[in-house]
Amino acid sequence: MVSKRKFFSIATMMFVLFFLFQFSMVLRDSKNTYDINSSLTEKKADGRNRWTPSDNVTGADSSVVFIGNENGDMGTAISRWCTYAKRKLISCKSVSTYKADDKNLPEMMILESEKYADGDNLTTLETLEKKGVIIVFGCLENAKNIQNNKALMKFLGIQKVVAEETHLAGVKLFEGLLLGGEVTYNTSKDKEEKKRQDLELDVPWYQVGSGTKTYMVGLLDEKTGKNVENEDFPTIIWRNGIDYGSVFAVVGDYMKGSTALGLLDGMWAEALQYTIYPIVNAQNLSMVNFPVFADENNTEMLKLYSQSVTGIARDIMWPALISVVEKSDMKMTCFIQPQADYTDDIEPKSGNLEFYLKQMKEQSAEAGISLEYQKLDKAEDKVTKDTEFFENEKINYRFGAAFAKEKDLKGILKDTDSGLLGDVGTLVCDYTENQPVVSYYSDSVTLQTVTSDGMNYAYSDDIRMRSIQTALGYTNVMLDMYDIFWPQEKTDRWEVMQKRFSSNLLTYWKNFRDFDSTTLSESNARIRTFLNLAYSQSREDNTITLQTSEAGSWFILRTHGEEIDEIDGGSQTEIEADAYLICAEDTTVKIRLKEQELYYDTRKNCVERGKR
Amino acid sequence: MLMSTLVILRFTGIFAAYTGITVLLPEIMFRRILKGRRLSEQFLMSYTFGNFYIINIVFALQLLHISNFFTLTAVTVLMSILIGLKVNRIPLRRKLAKGKKIFCRLSDGSLGIRSAVSKFGEWMKSGCRYFGKFFCRYIVKKPIQFVFLIFICGALLWIYGRQIILTYGYRASDIPVHLSWINQMSRGKIFSKGVYPFGFHCMIYYLHTVFGVDTYVILCEFFFVQVIYLHAVLLVMLKLLCKTKYLPYIGVFAYIVGDFWSGQTYSRFYSTLPQEYGMIFVIPSVYFLIRFFQIHKENLTDRETRRILQCFAMAFSLTLAIHFYGTMIAGLCCIGIAMGFCFRFVKKEYFCRIMVTGILSVVLAVLPMAIAFAGGTPLQGSLGWGMSVINGSQNEESDADNTTQNNKVQVTSGNGKVTEIDVSKLPSAKKGETTVVVEQKKPSLGDRMRTVTDKIKVISDKIKTIPNKIPKAVRTMSIRIRNIVVPVDWQKMGTAVMTAYAGLLLLGLVFCAFQKTEYGAVLMSVGFCMLILTVLLCAGPFGLPTLMDAARCSIYYAYLLPVAGVLITDGLLYLVLMPKVLRICRNILSLGLAAVLLVVLSQNDLIKEPGFSSGYVTNGAITCLTNIIRDNEDETWTIVSANDETQMGLDHGWHYETITFLRKLEHMKEDTKVIIPTENVYFFIEKIPLDYSVSYADSGQSISKKGASQTLPNVGGIGMYQGEKRWIVMSRMYYWAQAFMKKYPNEMKVYYEDDQFICYRIPQNMYHQYNFAIDYGYNQVETEEQEAEQ
């Protein structure tokens, strides 16, 4: 028998336990300001202030000369890089048309191809190189021409053209040029891995000589490469050092897209004692068309998952996504798709939105709006019907980001002035080379293109991702859920996609965790700062002085063995060896580099160490 | 951290480790036997045993090929415990039972932690009390001696100790060879280059393996440990032999600081070399032999006699196990002591014992070498030379070099006419081809008899002339002492020294007459020892076999000369103030003499000021090597330098010869590759090249384009790194580095630079390494066309 006294004690204890558990939950729920978008910043038409070469802050001589077709792929990529690197671009059709001015020499000259370096042009290039201009051969196209031109071979540091074309088993990118460390893109025997190999594998075989430094080599298959020493493997990207100057050469199309951005910054860093350049510093994860609220395609979903569409999204996909996001330390931006088919009678369910917004708040995620749809009677209906849905949900959440296909961007822009899209300050579109990675789409709206598809990730995507990370400290990984809810192929299943997505995200992005995770609205603010800023830098002994027009801007400092000792006016994080992430908290940042000292030293009044 | 701080810390560690295993460990092991003896004797016995013990452990384990940190430590510890228990008569079972009981009490809680701590506290307290007593007994109660000791330590630090802080490198060209042999021991190969007295190497190897100090560090700093012990044994022997208190200190002090000693008598003390290490054990050999002869006949069967003989055997065997020269000197001193104590030496009881001990000590030293030799290891070059000296063949050769009389052979022609020809004038003989085929007539019995008679006649003539030759010989000795050992302005210095020896003999006889036989015999022994050593010093001029060149002999001679000086002064004081009651006066007088000598030394600028430099390694190179070892993981770096770092960094990284590097670049083709497959490559370049013991007209000049434009030296061995050739090599290397830096300005960095030395570092991508073969302006690069033309 339980005595009354004991019964009372047990009951009290149970009540206390119940209270303790429930109290925290109730408190958390009541404090969750889920209908406020805390990532959102006020929309401003600051695109007018974006940096242009005429701002001339980086000095009169900070120019880059491009020799080739300025409207071609490489020309476009270099033009974008110049905008990001805050350098003036001078485009010329040939070397001879460029009028060299000794007082105002360019910092870098990029040749679209080696054909621009024939005859007297080569002499001009040699002269410029001796004067300290970094020469970049963007693409070595014709091995035969190079082989026949000994002077050019010497200038490029090519010892021998082993073959005009050879087939590679993969490529290896060494650390130093791009951030993220060494990586090998070798064609694996594994079927899934084999699908990733999309690099250019038929290339000329250049064997480089002494005085060169190799950044990327081709890998030969086991039979061909058996008797070939590593140093003799086909070289793809290298630098030839001549009298403290640098000549870079690239084999293949790496400079004909966004991949060029990081490569050029890497070349800059390799050629100079140190470099400091602005970046965005934003790592985004875009969940496109998720969550959904209409039980469309329910028959198919019930067949595949034994659950309704909204049930799958809420009970299966959402927990899995949270798990991946927590492991990857990234912030999500979920682009809500209230419904896909606006012509059917299936309307979005009410009640789920609040749940998702609360969950997102707890995960520091942001809700955006997806402007994608499957069927629609009139284009305007989409925004109208979605507005209706949100009004019915009685939620005043202000959407700062919207997703649309690149082809639909122009049509959407007019809707961003008022209504549901009135607060949208940034548009996100799928990966395209037609648009810059980050840019102003209008004076008040920025455009952030997706840099990688989290599901289908090939080797070229990885090089591009590393390159963009190097140049901008930016990534925008997209996971489009449309195919899950509207499956076309066997692989359009959540379990398959989740596996691929999580493995890609946790593998390829792990080296970039020092960059900040942001939602797209946060990223939008940083992009505006980045695109508007002008900066200059100088070095005196071991102190680098950085001056920027925008406080709160981010930079990368790359050195060669030098470490940061102290920083004033900002903060720093070491990303990897010789690469530092700098936050300019003030408009003037002073970075003091450590003096090269030995642990055990004898010298008290030794020769001036700084002037070695 | 300053390099000098590191050097001091390292030296302190090495000194503590060496003292711990050679002095303190035996002191603990033999505390029952040592108890009641004078501290000086305790020290001599412990130190001799300690060195003997460690060296032989290493020998045994090396010959069994099981030598490593664990075996060395285990054997040392276990043997020490066993010997300690046995000697100190500690019942092992009872000790174990006691330990078990304490453990059980601790585990079952009957002995609380507080009680255990209090017991430990008591034990600590008793330890402190012991050290307190020791301090009181030897320092507080003997303040004057303590002050003298401080003076001696200060002098050692000033004259020798400063060297380790000012010059980090080694100071003898043969140290890399010893380093290489010791490194080979770490790889299980004792006697890697042939059988050689390896006692010194065993000790260094032990310190390296057990205490983890790099061998090159020990070889750079151990010399000061040697110097300290070299002077310590001299001091303690003098203290044991003298009748006065303070003269030994002043004798040793004068030996350390005196500027009157010839440079070569102490210059080798700045290097960690086997000869100087072996020299330490000459004094213990001498002392223990004297000590043996001081034992009365009736006490010869005592355990004490056995212990003294054992110590003598160990000390003598150590001289042989470490270096032959030490053995020669110790052997000659033994003869001198036998002469001094001839009245006992000739007695059967003494003679048999000392001969058996002597043979045993030789066997002890030779045994490891004999085992290795029997195992097929050939004799090392210098050992072969030593053997030839012992066999006399070397002297015959030298005699042959000096005279031509042996080159004349009688040739019988066809008609029976005998003619004498000088074979040394034949072309074949000049080329060193010794096969001159001549038929020599075999002497008949009558001829042989005639020859013998002639020889006897010659010898008897020589003996007759001896009395006439003695003054001349004494004069030669005096001159030689003054010229080689004590080159002072005073012309009669040599004569004074010789007079002192005579005085020692005379004084010894006087003491014998006064019934102070043992003390008198000691004085005579020292006198005879010094006279024998003087004969060794003058072997060349006397036409005797030159067992040891005069320069080396002078090192030992100068070392033992203070013994003679101190003992004759001591003898004179003792003679004047012999009665026991006058002991205090004697000591006061000796103190007065010490003070006078101090004043004389300081007032007359007789304190030496040694130079500090290493002509073989720059401080920068040692600093860089130390940092490279610290900064990098083992086996991930290579140093390209002029040869010495090969052995220095053997346990940690790789080495590439500068000359090999330059030779590969000398006639470069377009496809020439020089690849060094490590993560980091360091280039050591001397901006002011060292001479490496070969000076030339422009010694000390800086590297220059002029040097780089000279032809690359094409000599073998170390030759290309000596004198002017080193200047050319370094100049070439410097301009290569400048040219390479132009190609890789951000990769190739200056790692260290001072006025004399520069070190470059280049990190490498291990998958795709740099080709160091470049056209640096002073090498020849052949193009494809030139190659085709050829």
Check whether the bond before A291 is cis (ω within 30° of 0): yes
Q: Are the C-beta atoms of residues B494 and B262 closer than 8 Å to each other?
A: no
Whether A606 sits inside 8 A of B770 (CB atoms) is no
Chain B hits for A159, Cβ within 8 Å: 670-671
pLDDT greater than 50 at residue B404? no
Return the percentage of chain A with pLDDT > 90, whole number.
38
Does A609 contact chain B (CB < 8 Å)?
Answer: yes
Does A132 contact chain B (CB < 8 Å)?
Answer: no
Does B751 contact chain A (CB < 8 Å)?
Answer: yes
Band of the pLDDT at B234, cuts 50, 70, 90?
Answer: very high
Q: Are the C-beta atoms of residues A262 and A178 closer than 8 Å to each other?
A: yes
Chain A hits for B612, Cβ within 8 Å: none
Band of the pLDDT at A58, cuts 50, 70, 90?
Answer: very low
Whether A214 sits inside 8 A of B765 (CB atoms) is yes
Neighbours of A132 (CB within 10 A): 15
Band of the pLDDT at B443, cuts 50, 70, 90?
Answer: low
Cα–Cα dist A31/A53, whole Å: 48
Query: What pLDDT score was predicted for residue B385?
Result: 60
Whether A598 sits inside 8 A of B627 (CB atoms) is yes
Nearest Cα to Cα of residue B714 among B642, B666, B656, B775: B666
Does A272 contact chain B (CB < 8 Å)?
Answer: yes
Q: Nearest-CA distance from B1 to chain A in Å?
A: 5
Nearest Cα to Cα of residue A207 among A172, A173, A231, A241: A231
Q: Torsions phi, psi of A547, nearest 5? A: -120, 130
Whether B619 sits inside 8 A of A210 (CB atoms) is no
Nearest Cα to Cα of residue B198 among B303, B338, B321, B75: B321
What is the per-residue pLDDT across B53-108, written as a single tens digit (0 to 9) for each?
999 999 889 888 898 899 999 999 999 998 988 888 888 888 888 888 888 887 77
Return the percentage of chain B with pLDDT > 90, whole number.
28
Q: Torsions phi, psi of A567, nearest 5? A: -140, 135
Residue whose pair of structure tokens reads 């004999």 in the numeric block: B370
What is the per-residue pLDDT across B406-437, written as a single tens digit (0 to 9) for each?
444 344 444 444 444 443 343 333 333 333 34
Question: Average pLDDT in the B656-664 region?
Answer: 91
Q: Write the CA distances from A260 to A80, A237, A559, integer angstroms.
A: 10, 12, 20
B417 three-state secondary structure: coil
pLDDT greater than 90 at residue A266? yes
Does B785 contact chain A (CB < 8 Å)?
Answer: no
Of B4, B670, B675, the CB nearest to A159: B670
Of A174, A242, A602, the CB nearest to B765: A174
Chain A hits for B620, Cβ within 8 Å: 602
From the candidates A215, A601, A606, which should be mutated to test the interface with B, based on the most B CB atoms within 10 A? A601
Nearest Cα to Cα of residue B750 among B701, B690, B685, B689: B685
Cα–Cα dist A379/B68, whole Å: 85
From the candidates B687, B746, B753, B762, which should be mutated to test the interface with A, based on the most A CB atoms within 10 A? B746
Does A181 contact chain B (CB < 8 Å)?
Answer: no
Query: What pLDDT score was predicted for residue B412?
Result: 40
Does B747 contact chain A (CB < 8 Å)?
Answer: yes
Of A211, A271, A609, the CB nearest to B743: A211
Q: Nearest-CA distance from B164 to chain A in Å?
A: 13
Query: What pLDDT score was predicted for residue A99?
Result: 81
Query: What pLDDT score was predicted for residue A56?
Result: 53
Amino acid at the residue B550: A
Cα–Cα dist A585/A280, whole Å: 14
Does B626 contact chain A (CB < 8 Å)?
Answer: yes
What is the per-residue pLDDT across B277-330, written as a single tens digit (0 to 9) for each?
999 999 999 999 999 998 888 888 888 888 999 999 999 999 988 888 889 899
Does B4 contact chain A (CB < 8 Å)?
Answer: yes
Query: What pLDDT score was predicted for residue B19?
Result: 94
A55 three-state secondary structure: helix
pLDDT greater than 50 at residue A495? yes
pLDDT greater than 70 at residue A394? yes
What is the per-residue pLDDT across B178-202, written as a single tens digit (0 to 9) for each?
888 898 888 888 887 788 888 899 9
Query: What pLDDT score was predicted for residue B612?
Result: 62
The ipTM, to two decimals, is 0.84
Does A598 contact chain B (CB < 8 Å)?
Answer: yes
Chain A hits for B682, Cβ within 8 Å: none
What is the per-residue pLDDT across A333-350, written as a single tens digit (0 to 9) for each?
999 998 888 888 888 888
Cα–Cα dist B287/B332, whole Å: 14
Mean pLDDT (chain A) is 87
What is the per-residue pLDDT across B143-174, written as a single tens digit (0 to 9) for each?
888 888 898 999 899 888 888 888 888 888 88
Q: Torsions phi, psi of A50, nearest 5? A: -55, 150
Cα–Cα dist B422/B405, whole Å: 8
What is the per-residue pLDDT across A427-469, written as a single tens digit (0 to 9) for each?
999 988 889 999 998 888 999 999 998 888 889 999 999 999 9
Chain B hits for A210, Cβ within 8 Å: 673, 743, 770-774
Tell me the residues of chain A between 238 and 257 that have a Cβ less than 8 Å away from chain B.
241-244
Band of the pLDDT at B118, cuts 50, 70, 90?
Answer: confident
Band of the pLDDT at B440, cuts 50, 70, 90?
Answer: very low
Cα–Cα dist B79/A46, whole Å: 86
Chain A hits for B670, Cβ within 8 Å: 159, 209
Query: What pLDDT score was predicted for residue B392?
Result: 52
Does A606 contact chain B (CB < 8 Å)?
Answer: yes
Does B772 contact chain A (CB < 8 Å)?
Answer: yes
Band of the pLDDT at B34, cuts 50, 70, 90?
Answer: confident
What is the per-residue pLDDT across A14-31, written as a single tens digit (0 to 9) for each?
999 999 888 888 887 777
